[in-house]
C-alpha cells in the first residue's frame, strides 16, 4: 500500500513546476524525498483523503436499505440487501458465475481503511521529528491527518463496532496479532484524534480540505452514533467490543457536540441552509456545505452517475442502477398539509399521484410523467388496441411498447422511479464522464437534525421541533411545521432524516443505530408501473387510459414478473396502521426482496474470514455470523 501511495503522490505532481521536481525524476522519489518537500508531503496527504471509496459506485448503500433497488442481480449490493452476507463471501461475492470484489463498495471497508491508517500513522510519526517541511505546511498537514484517522475509525466503528486501535507503524517482519478494542475505547480514541486535529487546524481551509469545523461535524456524528440504541442499549448495559457501556449521559454529549457546530452557523454565521434544496450538490460555494468531495471536469475525478441516469433512447446512455422504491416515494408528504398521502385530510389525489408533494421529492426522484434533463419519464407499458382491463388483470397479455421520442425507454427502471438527485441538469453526463457536482460528507442540515435528535432524547422537545422545522423551512421547501410530541415527534424526526438526507448514505446506518432495520427492511420492495390501454399514437404526450400499478420485486422467482390483483399495501405511521388499497387493477410481486436476518446479524458488518485467519483468531467475529 505504501508503494501505491508513493505512486499516487508522484502522479499528483505531474503538472507541478517545483524546482525540486524539475531536477529529480518522479520514478526516483524516495521516502525521504516525500517527507522533506512541502509539495510532495501535501500530495502524500492528498492521497489519504480517499480512505473512503467514492459514494458513486456499484455498491450504492441506499440499495442495501429501503431507499432503493439495485437492478443488476450479480452484485454485492443485492447480497447485502437480501441478508446473505457471510464472513466468507464478504470479500468476494459470487453470483452468476462471476466474482465481485466488495472492497470497493461503501460498506466493506475493513481492509482498505487499515491500509490507509498505516500510512496515516507513518506520517504522524515522521512529523514528530520533522524539521525540513515549512512550519505552516507541517502544522496543517498534521492536523488533517489526525482528522483523517478519526474519519477512518468513525466509519469502521459505524460498520463493525469496536475495532483494533492501531497507532504503531508495523514493519514487514513485525508480529501482528491485534485484538478488537472495546467500542467505548474506540469512540474515545476518535475524539482524542479530533481534539488533536483542532490544535493544528484553523476555521478556514482550501476548498475540499478539512478544517476545525469539519472536526466539530465529525464529533457530532460519532457522538450521535455512540449514544444511539444499537451501541448504547439499556437492555444490554455492559460495554464490550460490540457496544458501549450504557449511559443516558451520552445523549447530552451528543447534544453538546451538535450545538458546537450548529452555533458556528446560528451564532457566527459561518454556514446557512442553501436557498434551494439542490444548492449543496450543485453550488461549489454553497454556504450549507461543511466538507465535501468535489468533482471537476479536469481533475480526473469522475462521478460515476451511471447508476442515476436513465436509458433515454440513445441520448444519455445511463444504466438506471439505483432505483428509488415505492416505500421511499410514499414517505414524501403532501406540501399543503404536511401529511402522508394515506392520512385523512392529506389532499392526495389518486388520479394525480405525484402532484402536490414535498418539493424535495421533485429534486430527488424522477417519477412517471416527470422530467429529467428535459426528457419525459414515460415508463408505461403500451398495450395494443383491443386489450381489456380484465385481460390485464388476469395476466393473459404481454405488453408491446412504442417508442415515444424523448421518453424513458420501457424497462429502463424496475421500480418505475429514477434517481434525480446528483444530476446536473444543465450539463447531463454519461457513464464515466467527468462532471462538476460535489458530494457533501457533512452539511448543515445534518447538523440541525443531529441536534434535534439529541435534544429529543434529552427531553427537550421544543428544541427538537425548532431544528426539524428549520430544515423544513428552507426557502424552496416551506413544508408545514412539525407540531407533534412524544413518540409521534420521534417518528417525524425519523422521516425528516429520510427525506432531507435521501440517498446520502444515512438511511442504512440510521435504521441500524435506531434498531429499526428489522421492520423497514422486511417489507415488500415495491415500485410503480403505468399500464396504457388502447394508446393513441397521435397523442403520445397525453395520459390515456392509465392504470397505475405497484410492482413488488420477488427474488424467489429469479427476478421475473408475475402479477396478482387486489394488492393492499400496509403501512404504520405515527402509531396508526394504514391500508393502501390500489384497486382491482393493481399488479404486484408479493414477496419481499429485502431481508433483514432474524438473528440480527446485519446490524453490524461481518469481518472477513481471511482477516480473522491472518490474526490467528485473535480478532473476534461479530454476533450472528458463523
Domain limits, the chain: 61-107+600-614
At residue 56, the pLDDT reads 63
Percent of the chain exceeding pLDDT 70 equals 67
* pLDDT tens-digit series, residues 95-146: 444 455 554 467 888 988 999 999 999 999 999 999 999 999 999 999 999 9
Better-scored residue on pLDDT, 214 or 68: 214
Lowest mean pLDDT among 177-191, 246-260, 342-356, 468-482: 342-356
At residue 291, the pLDDT reads 97
Whether residue 288 is predicted with pLDDT greater than 90 in this model: the reply is: yes
Lowest mean pLDDT among 135-139, 458-462, 515-519: 515-519
Strand locations in 412-567 (E): 418-419, 438-443, 526-532, 546-552
Mean local confidence (pLDDT), 502-510: 95
pLDDT band at 397 (very low <50, low <70, confident <90, very high): very low
At residue 594, the pLDDT reads 66
What does the mean pLDDT of the chain come to?
79
At residue 426, the pLDDT reads 65
Better-scored residue on pLDDT, 248 or 552: 248
Better-scored residue on pLDDT, 386 or 440: 440
Mean local confidence (pLDDT), 244-253: 98
CB 553 within 8 A of CB 326: no
* pLDDT tens-digit series, residues 135-184: 999 999 999 999 999 999 999 999 999 999 999 888 766 666 789 999 99
pLDDT band at 575 (very low <50, low <70, confident <90, very high): low
Q: Which three cell numbers stand for residue 295?
A: 468533482
* pLDDT tens-digit series, residues 303-360: 444 444 443 333 344 556 778 888 899 899 999 999 998 888 999 987 788 899 999 9
CA distances from residue 488 to 52, 466, 484, 485 in whole angstroms, order as listed: 36, 15, 6, 6
Q: Which of 156, 150, 145 is nearest to 183 (CA)?
A: 156
pLDDT band at 623 (very low <50, low <70, confident <90, very high): very high
Mean local confidence (pLDDT), 229-239: 97
At residue 92, the pLDDT reads 56
At residue 369, the pLDDT reads 73
User: DSSP for 43-64?
Assistant: HHHHHHGGGSPPSSSTT-GGGG
CA distances from residue 477 to 273, 361, 471, 492 in whole angstroms, order as listed: 11, 10, 9, 16
Percent of the chain exceeding pLDDT 90 equals 48
Q: Which of 259, 230, 253, 234 is nearest to 243 (CA)?
A: 230
For cell 421529492, name the residue. 361
CA distances from residue 127 to 130, 132, 140, 193, 511 in whole angstroms, order as listed: 5, 10, 11, 15, 40
For cell 440541525, name the residue. 448
For cell 457522538, name the residue. 223
Output the CA torsion 199→295→108→181 (10° steps).
Answer: 0
For cell 403500451, name the residue. 382
Mean local confidence (pLDDT), 254-276: 98
pLDDT band at 514 (very low <50, low <70, confident <90, very high): very high
Cβ neighbours around 338 below 10 Å, total = 18
In this structure, the strands spanning 289-294 and 438-443 are antiparallel
pLDDT band at 5 (very low <50, low <70, confident <90, very high): very low
Lowest mean pLDDT among 82-96, 197-211, 286-300: 82-96
CA–CA separation, 151 and 135 (whole Å): 24
At 322 the three-state DSSP class reads strand
Output the CA torsion 184→618→1→300 (10° steps).
Answer: -50
Query: φ, ψ for residue 382 (rounded to 5)?
Result: -110, 125
pLDDT band at 419 (very low <50, low <70, confident <90, very high): confident
At residue 566, the pLDDT reads 39
Whole-model pTM: value is 0.86
For cell 402532484, name the residue. 355
CA–CA separation, 319 and 145 (whole Å): 37
CB 418 within 8 A of CB 408: yes
User: DSSP for 147-208?
Assistant: HHHHHHHHHHHHHHSS-----S---TTS-----PPPHHHHHHHHHHHHHHHHHH--S--STT
At residue 96, the pLDDT reads 42
In this structure, the strands spanning 322-324 and 68-70 are antiparallel
Q: Which of 545, 551, 556 is nearest to 567 (CA)?
A: 551
At residue 303, the pLDDT reads 47
Lowest mean pLDDT among 85-99, 377-391, 510-524: 377-391
CA–CA separation, 356 and 362 (whole Å): 10
Amino acid at each position: 500500500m505504501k508503494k501505491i501511495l508513493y505512486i499516487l503522490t508522484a502522479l499528483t505532481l505531474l503538472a507541478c513546476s517545483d524546482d525540486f521536481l524539475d531536477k529529480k525524476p518522479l520514478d526516483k522519489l524516495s521516502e525521504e524525498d516525500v517527507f522533506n518537500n512541502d509539495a510532495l508531503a501535501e500530495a502524500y496527504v492528498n492521497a489519504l483523503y480517499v480512505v473512503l471509496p467514492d459514494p458513486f459506485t456499484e455498491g450504492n448503500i441506499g440499495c442495501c436499505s429501503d431507499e432503493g433497488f439495485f437492478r443488476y442481480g450479480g452484485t454485492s449490493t443485492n447480497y447485502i440487501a437480501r441478508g446473505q452476507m457471510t464472513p466468507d463471501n464478504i470479500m468476494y461475492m459470487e453470483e452468476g458465475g462471476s466474482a465481485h470484489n466488495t472492497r470497493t463498495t461503501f460498506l466493506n471497508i475493513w481492509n482498505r481503511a487499515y491500509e490507509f491508517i498505516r500510512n496515516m500513522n507513518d506520517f504522524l510519526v515522521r512529523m514528530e521529528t520533522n524539521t525540513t517541511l515549512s512550519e505552516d505546511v507541517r502544522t496543517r498537514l498534521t492536523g488533517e491527518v489526525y482528522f483523517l484517522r478519526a474519519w477512518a475509525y468513525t466509519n469502521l466503528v459505524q460498520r463493525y463496532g469496536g475495532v483494533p486501535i492501531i497507532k504503531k507503524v508495523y514493519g514487514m517482519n513485525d508480529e501482528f496479532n491485534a485484538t478488537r478494542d472495546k467500542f467505548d475505547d474506540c469512540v474515545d480514541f476518535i475524539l482524542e484524534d479530533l481534539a488533536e486535529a483542532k490544535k493544528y487546524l484553523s476555521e478556514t481551509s482550501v476548498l475540499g480540505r478539512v478544517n476545525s469545523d469539519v472536526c466539530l461535524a465529525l464529533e457530532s456524528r460519532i457522538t450521535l452514533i455512540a449514544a444511539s440504541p444499537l451501541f448504547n442499549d439499556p437492555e444490554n448495559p455492559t460495554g464490550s467490543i460490540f457496544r458501549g457501556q450504557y449511559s443516558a449521559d451520552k445523549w447530552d454529549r451528543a447534544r453538546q457536540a451538535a450545538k458546537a457546530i450548529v452555533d458556528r452557523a446560528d451564532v457566527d454565521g459561518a454556514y446557512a441552509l442553501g436557498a434551494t434544496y439542490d444548492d449543496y450538490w450543485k453550488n461549489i460555494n454553497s454556504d450549507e456545505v461543511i466538507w465535501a468531495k468535489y468533482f471537476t471536469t479536469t481533475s480526473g475525478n469522475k462521478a460515476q452517475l451511471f447508476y442515476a441516469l436513465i436509458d433515454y433512447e440513445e441520448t444519455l446512455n445511463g444504466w438506471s442502477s439505483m432505483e428509488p422504491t415505492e416505500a421511499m416515494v410514499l414517505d414524501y408528504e403532501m406540501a399543503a398539509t404536511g401529511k402522508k398521502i394515506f392520512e385523512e385530510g392529506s389532499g392526495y389525489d389518486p388520479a394525480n399521484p405525484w402532484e402536490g408533494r414535498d418539493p424535495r421529492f421533485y429534486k430527488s426522484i424522477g417519477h412517471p410523467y416527470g422530467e429529467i434533463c428535459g426528457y419525459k419519464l414515460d415508463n408505461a407499458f403500451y398495450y395494443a388496441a383491443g386489450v381489456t382491463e380484465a385481460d390485464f388483470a388476469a395476466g393473459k397479455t404481454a405488453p408491446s411498447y412504442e417508442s415515444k421520442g424523448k421518453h424513458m425507454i420501457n424497462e429502463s427502471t424496475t421500480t418505475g422511479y429514477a434517481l434525480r438527485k446528483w444530476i446536473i441538469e444543465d450539463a447531463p453526463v454519461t457513464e464515466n464522464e467527468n462532471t462538476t457536482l460535489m458530494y457533501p460528507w457533512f452539511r448543515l442540515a445534518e447538523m440541525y437534525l443531529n441536534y434535534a435528535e439529541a435534544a429529543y432524547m434529552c427531553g427537550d422537545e421544543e428544541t427538537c421541533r425548532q431544528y426539524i422545522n428549520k430544515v423544513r423551512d428552507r426557502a424552496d421547501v416551506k413544508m408545514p411545521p412539525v407540531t407533534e410530541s412524544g413518540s409521534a415527534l420521534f417518528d417525524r424526526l425519523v422521516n425528516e432524516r429520510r427525506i432531507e438526507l435521501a440517498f446520502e448514505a444515512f438511511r442504512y446506518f440510521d435504521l441500524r443505530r435506531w434498531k429499526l432495520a428489522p421492520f423497514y427492511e422486511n417489507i415488500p420492495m415495491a415500485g410503480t408501473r403505468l399500464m396504457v390501454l388502447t394508446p393513441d399514437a397521435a397523442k403520445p404526450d397525453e395520459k390515456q387510459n392509465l392504470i397505475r400499478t405497484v410492482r413488488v420485486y420477488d427474488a424467489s422467482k429469479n427476478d421475473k414478473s408475475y402479477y396478482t390483483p387486489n394488492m393492499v399495501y400496509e403501512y404504520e405511521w405515527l402509531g396508526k396502521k394504514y391500508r393502501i388499497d390500489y384497486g382491482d387493477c393493481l399488479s404486484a410481486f408479493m414477496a419481499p426482496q429485502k431481508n433483514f436476518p432474524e438473528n440480527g446479524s446485519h446490524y453490524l458488518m461481518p469481518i472477513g474470514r481471511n482477516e480473522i485467519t491472518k490474526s490467528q483468531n485473535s480478532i473476534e467475529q461479530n454476533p450472528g455470523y458463523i
